[in-house]
Amino acid sequence: MAGCRSDQAKRLKELEQENGKLKRLVANLSLDNLVLKDISAGNF
């Protein structure tokens, strides 16, 4: 059972790291989107 919990803890850490990467990716894409909207509207 201890091995199972250890595997779960490892998987949780991996998912938390992936979640952080995905959050940064979404933030970057959102910023890119805003910049492109401003440029297309002539606000540059």
Q: pLDDT tens-digit profile of 1-44?
A: 567 899 999 999 999 999 999 999 999 999 999 999 999 999 76
pLDDT for position 43: 75
pLDDT, residue 3, reads 72
Q: Would you say 38 and 44 are in contact if contact means Cβ atoms under 8 Å apart?
A: yes
Category of 42 on φ-ψ map: left (φ > 0), alpha (ψ -120 to 50) or beta: left
What's the CA gap between 19 and 4, in Å, rounded? 22
